[in-house]
Structure 1
């Protein structure tokens, strides 16, 4: 791949094929056919170096343009087809690799795409001139972004002049293991020139393990994106007699700008690859009884006043979260998903009926992929319906793991969802995943990682089947917060819980960073105001949910009238935002949010207008927001939520494009501003 840049953008330097000859488009390793030289890297594969162009084909299907490039290594009987799809709405491509083997090979790694083209397209003179953006992820601490020069990020300058200019063997490896696709790092990143002349962002669209690797060749840097591999994830697959393996898809987006510009281009790509359904259209406000509220202990007595209060606040859906299916301790007994008679003496239908009476749609929490070790289903479902290693059923965190390749596992889950929709009118499922699988399942003599890959694909197929049967059902993606935040799932599902973080102040950074990894219209940011909070604390908790998909919680039934009114105002403001949120792109006037920063900001911009949330979490009383799109113009700035500025002040320097915002107190606080360039 010689060039990957926005259409119409000039080439900053001549593109010379020889300058890129060291990085094949596809890297493949197989048992008996590894790398030269040997290293930890996914590149330098002998098969990748041997592949040669055979043919290509271009097709157009509506707004989608497709390119298939076929390469072959006849000596090993390998054909590699690189597939690129580009939608006219986004400066991006979706790519994957199809490997066909005529003989008999055990493939242990294959890239979805590999490229060094961004070095020439950026005009960067060397690796020294490139930046890397990536985000660490963890329970309660999601989307912790960092932007560093490649040298500082790990590509050390080894003094190649003293070693005949040989390529270093170091790499920066990002990735995740097991079934949590974002359990350790977000499957999204970007490379950019220091001078912001060019940037490339990527995402790996797989609900399982992956690796993104950046390394150095003799002439520059490369990027290699893969799904599971043998070295990292115990993955391999035997291909014989013309069999084909398809890698996980990835997307690459480009921009003539910096990291944030490339992430905005990736936002357009996410919208292009989504599979819209009728249930997506309304973008309803969901109240959930869990966070800082019932915390997995719902009962009819506790729920009825919450239902009334949520309806009064303006919620559209009411989700009964964890615990509805068990009398007491339930963690290792889950799996049947039958309502608790003790919690609901009048039946769960009494609760769901009340939700509908109050004009809302009922929802239920579900963790479909697990069976508790003490559940009756652990004995009645066949062993083959569960993840296994060496003939032993895997148990993690008190649960066995269903393998959705098996028809009994799928039939069980189909029956559960159909019953919840049919008997209780569930229109919303909070689909959680709190148990990580480990490397996978070796059932059927497969490598564990390939068993996991097949299960992950079967899970997507199951979701597609559920949505085909129940097109009005909204499904939220959740995995201990945002431990499975990927566009294999989110291309299908409707919203994503962005964290389990219960401290509204710490949540602010998570909410501000979320649109770097997911669409703002899918970012389920919890807003959980509580009775007795100070005005500023309550406002901050609500601001967290305004620019995204507000996920409302908290004991609204215990609030005084003025507190209830504040919640209602936030919901109303959020509805205004969602009116055109799918036409807006994220901006970060203080840069990508930094964990534990004193100030953070997120904006959603369309043309000359932006909603901008600003959080003051500590430190100095003022912050300077960069708004380059409005530089040289007059700004109309008004408080959006709350409608009163509350002694917050701001001043605009049109020449510098800087908006200075001042908060009146040291207490953490936040505001949403409406900003229009005249």
Structure 2
């Protein structure tokens, strides 16, 4: 609604306020100014000083056109686009339905004379856009995106609705603002760190006193190529140390993206976007019949918790978890959380045969697995030469004598499990017959040559032949073998994209396009195709995977009911990955390896199982080598998981020791379902992750064989119960009036899953004075 509010802007501007019960935003707009997002805040926070924030406010659509660029400043930053400043609000609509509030802005470029200052010599493009905001009831997060066209042809250098200023208002922002970001290395995923802005190189250089906008550098995170999270998670937070307040962001794409923080008019802005010209070889063509849909961005606001940073981090993750659950594609797997045995990790390692698989099938059924997934190699007649020959996805004859693959999968069903197979659908090996059978336009190409990486080509699923080929593969495999599960992997990052032309563009098919456009189009087409597969085969579970956790992004999480987190094979190194994963993906979608074999003792097996019990269990390893006692340890762990999985599907994360460090000796992660807290705790003494284990932060609380676990914002109302394993050896007690738990684990490598009844979890009221 457009209303008169305190601190109304001048020059005929008006404020439009919108939101839901917990998050609010204000946009200033007028006949002589672009609509600008002035403030975004939580309803429990003091109302912001709108007049003071107006100066640094940025347009709701930050966009730049090739030939014009920026106005008022220059450099690598993606703000102050000249055309963005010429956009005017022409109409707006808002509404509420099915638990969702929405707001739409129609924007049009203000006419200016051809060749006017700040424009190119020709006529201005006449941009037109619709900006959409969305917020779910009870969730302090806003998702936004835009659809952009123009009355004449133009190319966009960048475009996003993911922009918010005012983050450092009134602060010594160099050291009073901090950025949280997560490195995401292969097999060591979800490595969070906190840095002040000055530690990341952003200084107040004082030039605003001389009429300048601010410094010209920025703090950046940029992802290139088809692995959206191969180096960094596609999300982060900005923390205000004065109040503890956090603004979290996520960019919702399975391809290239960019985020930046910069200073502007004595304040700090955040910009999050999909591909850009500067970073990703992207250009958005707009004009009659041509439009650009920006990559969606979500922003969440969480006030600082009275119990400190760890409680605020938990509240922030809870908001993101709820936001993701509300926005994803529905699938029954979100509630069922069946136990999966996958024969890859520490098992067959892509080398299945009838002789090797059947003992694992028998063991998996005996332990209580509900799905058996045969991973890579089932199509390999060369016994190891398959890497550059994949693409046809026909079962191997040599590997499965005496009945073929069908006999093996029939045995899976006979033992009460449901069968699944691994696929790498986007990849075609250079030696595959498919490489020559499909038209050149069905593959990634650059500069007229087919792209090859590590002996493989990349399919472009915008091409009907590529899509028809994969539809035929999936329909044949599901129909012939009665598959209930498919694991879609992606083990090659193909680079910036394809410039071979849009194969889905009708009359314009084959027209050249920037490589970044091709990558974005293929990524969207892949997710659309995967969703259509599940629509066509109701109940089919499709797992998303990309070299472990290299596509753990919100766009993938909105489609795939389960995602792989990592390729880490050492069960001692998996806890910091699994414990931190809840910041990136809801626990009921997080596939966590739980490897077990006969060489492990009971404590080691329990350690490995505890790592997965509050997520999705991907049982793995040579389980056929387990003796009776060790099998009982696994069975007991899976029984606990089955009893908890309904709670896991509703839970939000808790980190009593903060987000885990890679070499922390003690790690703790909880799943809170209302008044029930399920708390996994690991002790890891010795050499961990290539170096000696370190104590991590708050070392005084976790010396020797005892750790004190604060309950951030929670109070235990009774004693702690050890759920798994239950053979003893530990001591656990609730201390400090219920605000902490003390656990003693005398064994150097051990883990326990605890249960507590708790109260609290709600943030204390913010002082409104």
TM-score normalized with structure 2 length = 0.85
- Tell me how far 1:161 sits from its aligned partner: 6.7
Q: Does 1:661 align with 2:718?
A: no
Does the 8 Å contact 1:341/1:347 carry over to 2?
Answer: yes
Question: Counterpart of 2:7?
Answer: none
Superimposed CA distance per residue, residues 307-362 of structure 1 (whole angstroms, 9 cap, x where no aligned partner): 11101111100000000001221100000111111110121011100000010000
Q: Which moved more, 1:76-85 or 1:322-331?
A: 76-85
Secondary structure of 2:407's counterpart equals helix
- Tell me how far 1:212 sits from its aligned partner: 1.4
- Tell me how far 1:111 sits from its aligned partner: 1.4
CA 1:320–1:242: 2 relative to 1, 3 Å: closer
Q: Does 1:609 align with 2:656?
A: no
Q: Which moved more, 1:45-54 or 1:537-546?
A: 45-54
- Tell me how far 1:49 sits from its aligned partner: 2.7
Q: Does 1:68 align with 2:104?
A: yes
Question: Counterpart of 1:3?
Answer: 39
TM-score normalized with structure 1 length = 0.96
Q: What is the distance in 2 between the residues matched to 1:56 and 1:228?
A: 27
User: Which of structures 1 and 2 has the bigger CA Rg?
Assistant: 2
Does the 8 Å contact 1:199/1:261 carry over to 2?
Answer: no
Q: What is the distance in 1 between the residues matched to 2:46 and 2:172?
A: 14
Superimposed CA distance per residue, residues 189-240 of structure 1 (whole angstroms, 9 cap, x where no aligned partner): 1112214542221111111101111111123111111111111110112212
Superimposed CA distance per residue, residues 621-670 of structure 1 (whole angstroms, 9 cap, x where no aligned partner): 23332213334x54320111112342244451127x232323213x2221
Question: Counterpart of 2:651?
Answer: 584
- Tell me how far 1:52 sits from its aligned partner: 3.0
1:267 to 321, 341, 348: 321
Q: What is the distance in 1 between the residues matched to 2:456 and 2:257?
A: 24
Q: What is the distance in 2 between the residues matched to 1:381 and 1:161?
A: 58
CA 1:534–1:159: 2 relative to 1, 3 Å: farther
Question: Counterpart of 2:427?
Answer: 370
CA 1:514–1:196: 2 relative to 1, 3 Å: farther
Secondary structure of 2:607's counterpart equals helix
Question: Counterpart of 1:416?
Answer: 473
Superimposed CA distance per residue, residues 467-503 of structure 1 (whole angstroms, 9 cap, x where no aligned partner): 1110110001100001011121211111111100011
Q: After TM superposition, where is structure 1 displaced by more than 6 Å over at least 4 residues in a row?
A: none
Question: Counterpart of 1:56?
Answer: 92
Query: 1:561-640 counterparts in 2 under 5 A?
Result: 561-618=628-685, 619=695, 620-621=703-704, 622-631=706-715, 634-640=717-723
2:149 to 89, 100, 121: 100
Query: 1:294-309 counterparts in 2 under 5 A?
Result: 294-309=348-363
1:642 to 719, 725, 738: 725
- Tell me how far 1:64 sits from its aligned partner: 1.6
Does the 8 Å contact 1:306/1:556 carry over to 2?
Answer: yes
Q: Which moved more, 1:577-586 or 1:68-77?
A: 68-77
Query: 1:233-272 counterparts in 2 under 5 A?
Result: 233-241=280-288, 243-257=290-304, 258-272=312-326
Superimposed CA distance per residue, residues 61-112 of structure 1 (whole angstroms, 9 cap, x where no aligned partner): 2212110123332233122332101111422111112222111211121113
CA 1:636–1:195: 2 relative to 1, 3 Å: farther
Q: Does 1:504 align with 2:586?
A: no
Does the 8 Å contact 2:317/2:652 carry over to 1?
Answer: no
CA 1:250–1:162: 2 relative to 1, 3 Å: closer
Q: What is the distance in 1 between the residues matched to 2:731 and 2:341?
A: 29
Does the 8 Å contact 2:602/2:633 carry over to 1?
Answer: no
Q: Does 1:27 align with 2:62?
A: yes
Does the 8 Å contact 2:55/2:265 carry over to 1?
Answer: no
Q: Which moved more, 1:520-529 or 1:452-461?
A: 452-461
Superimposed CA distance per residue, residues 394-435 of structure 1 (whole angstroms, 9 cap, x where no aligned partner): 111111110101111000100000011100011000110001
Q: What is the distance in 1 between the residues matched to 2:196 and 2:727?
A: 42
Q: What is the distance in 1 between the residues matched to 2:131 and 2:659?
A: 33
Does the 8 Å contact 2:162/2:298 carry over to 1?
Answer: no
Query: 1:235-384 counterparts in 2 under 5 A?
Result: 235-241=282-288, 243-257=290-304, 258-327=312-381, 328=383, 329-345=385-401, 346-384=403-441
- Tell me how far 1:390 sits from its aligned partner: 1.3
Secondary structure of 2:338's counterpart equals coil
Q: Does 1:207 align with 2:207?
A: no
Does the 8 Å contact 1:317/1:362 carry over to 2?
Answer: yes
Provide structure 2 residue ranges, at least 5 long, that are not aligned to the other structure: 1-36, 113-123, 305-311, 502-511, 686-694, 696-702, 760-769
1:149 to 196, 201, 209: 196
2:453 to 372, 382, 396: 396
Secondary structure of 2:378's counterpart equals coil
Secondary structure of 1:551's counterpart equals strand
Secondary structure of 1:179's counterpart equals coil
Q: What is the distance in 2 between the residues matched to 1:157 and 1:662?
A: 48
Q: What is the distance in 2 between the residues matched to 1:430 and 1:51?
A: 45
Q: What is the distance in 2 between the residues matched to 1:501 and 1:518?
A: 18
Question: Counterpart of 1:534?
Answer: 601
Q: What is the distance in 2 between the residues matched to 1:663 and 1:240?
A: 66
Question: Counterpart of 2:758?
Answer: 677
Does the 8 Å contact 1:325/1:337 carry over to 2?
Answer: yes
Q: What is the distance in 2 between the residues matched to 1:368 and 1:463?
A: 10
